[in-house]
């Protein structure tokens, strides 16, 4: 009997039963709930943040630094059981990393879940997540880069708002913290606008304004998910992407993949944040802007390059699944609703 109970608890928290990921969430009457986005509760001072390592390897010193950062924000920290595990270049085996994600959602003391870092590995654990559990325990989950995979999958399968923003090892400077607090603590519907900086300039691809739900993340990670059942609807969405360390021809290849998959033809607006350390390569090349114009101009939608999104110190906190209005002439992203529940 004891072994049976333990096995059942393991399956519930770890989500290894494939069936659990396929069953739609049920309401109190045992009927499928409406297909609406669920907003997680807002953060408050004194809340506990769960730290996980769903992708690359984490060092103990990184955890210590993260604890200091969150302490300055008035938050407590609880680490995932397997956060310091190592398995090749991954922060533990797939089942263990998935268990940490599921356990954080089931733990009632945890109010938000933040990834320590990106890297690679989140795509491997998608079939092991318990999406029904996540739907029934909605919480803030945040990160960027490889964490894009978790954000999009949870938004698509659990219908919960997720957040593309700093990881625990990010630079928690004034700009980053300001958007983090206003969106996740205060529940404000903010307008995101670049700092006045020569380093991050808005370059309009096509002018105009557009409205739609905000969806996106790291371009290479997103491209690797095409064809899977873990992507949300693109219909009339605002797509944002960012990238690091890729030659321009690879950006071209990935955008071509989104185009041939029918994704670009569905979106209402496009934002390319930053392409950090992206080069022209050794062969004759287009510029990045020429590639963006080739793919985006024929869509006749508002679009720009240069938003403060990606592998940079100053970054927005972007709510995935929330309605926004963009202005490609000035490069702003205006939230039309709060991203968290303030009740």
Rg (CA), the chain: 20
Give all strands (DSSP E) within the chain, no chain letters: 48-52, 76-79, 110-115, 140-143, 162-164, 191-192, 203-206, 209-218, 238-244, 269-276, 303-305, 318-320, 323-327, 332-335
For residues 112 and 139, is the Cβ–Cβ distance under 8 A? Answer: yes
> Which residue in 145, 158, 220, 307 is the catalytic one?
145
Burial classification of residue 278, based on how many CB atoms lie within 10 Å of its CB (0-12 exposed, 13-18 middle, 19 or more buried): middle
Other residues' Cβ atoms within 10 Å of the Cβ of residue 304? 25
β 162-164/110-115 pair status: unpaired
Half-sphere exposure of 108 (CA within 13 A, CB side): 0
> Which residue in 223, 307, 311, 323 is the catalytic one?
311
242 in active site? yes
Q: Phi/psi at 281 (nearest 5 deg)?
A: 85, 180
Q: Provide the Cα torsion 333, 336, 338, 339; round to 10°.
A: -60
For residues 197 and 121, is the Cβ–Cβ distance under 8 A? Answer: no
Local structure of residue 126 (DSSP, 8 states): G
Distance CA 80, CA 106 (A): 12
> Which residue in 237, 242, 246, 307 is the catalytic one?
242
323 in active site? no
Residues 6+ apart with CB under 8 A from 279: 247, 248
β 303-305/332-335 pair status: unpaired
82 in active site? no
Distance CA 234, CA 232 (A): 6
Distance CA 288, CA 278 (A): 9
Active site residues: 145, 242, 311
């Amino acid at each position: 009997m004891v072994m049976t109970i333990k096995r059942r608890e393991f399956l519930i928290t770890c989500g290894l039963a494939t069936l659990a990921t396929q069953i739609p969430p049920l309401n109190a009457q045992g009927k499928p709930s409406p297909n609406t986005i669920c907003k997680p509760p807002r953060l408050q001072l004194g809340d506990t943040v769960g730290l996980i390592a769903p992708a690359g390897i984490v060092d103990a010193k990184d955890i210590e630094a993260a604890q200091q950062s969150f302490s300055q924000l008035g938050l407590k920290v609880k680490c995932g059981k397997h956060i310091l595990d190592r398995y090749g270049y991954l922060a533990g085996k797939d089942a263990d990393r998935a268990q940490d994600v599921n356990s954080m959602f089931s733990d009632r003391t945890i109010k938000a879940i933040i990834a320590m870092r990106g890297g690679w590995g989140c795509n491997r654990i998608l079939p092991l997540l318990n999406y029904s559990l996540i739907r029934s325990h909605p919480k803030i989950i945040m990160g960027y880069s490889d964490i894009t995979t978790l954000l999009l999958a949870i938004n698509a399968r659990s219908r919960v708002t997720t957040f593309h923003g700093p990881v625990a090892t990010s630079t928690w400077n004034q700009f980053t913290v300001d958007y983090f607090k206003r969106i996740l603590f205060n529940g404000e519907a903010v307008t995101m606008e670049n700092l006045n900086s020569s380093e991050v300039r808005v370059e309009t691809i096509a002018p105009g304004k557009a409205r739609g739900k905000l969806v996106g993340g790291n371009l290479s990670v997103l491209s690797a998910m095409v064809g899977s059942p873990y992507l949300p609807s693109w219909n009339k969405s605002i797509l944002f992407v960012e990238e690091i360390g890729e030659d321009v021809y690879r950006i071209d290849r990935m955008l071509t993949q989104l185009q041939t998959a029918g994704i670009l033809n569905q979106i209402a607006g496009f934002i390319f944040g930053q392409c950090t350390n992206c080069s022209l390569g050794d062969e004759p090349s287009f510029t990045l802007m020429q590639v963006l114009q080739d793919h985006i101009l024929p869509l006749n939608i508002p679009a720009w390059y240069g938003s403060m999104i990606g592998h940079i110190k100053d970054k927005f906190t972007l709510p995935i699944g929330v309605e926004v209005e963009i202005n490609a002439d000035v490069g702003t992203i205006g939230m039309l609703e709060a991203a968290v529940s303030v009740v």
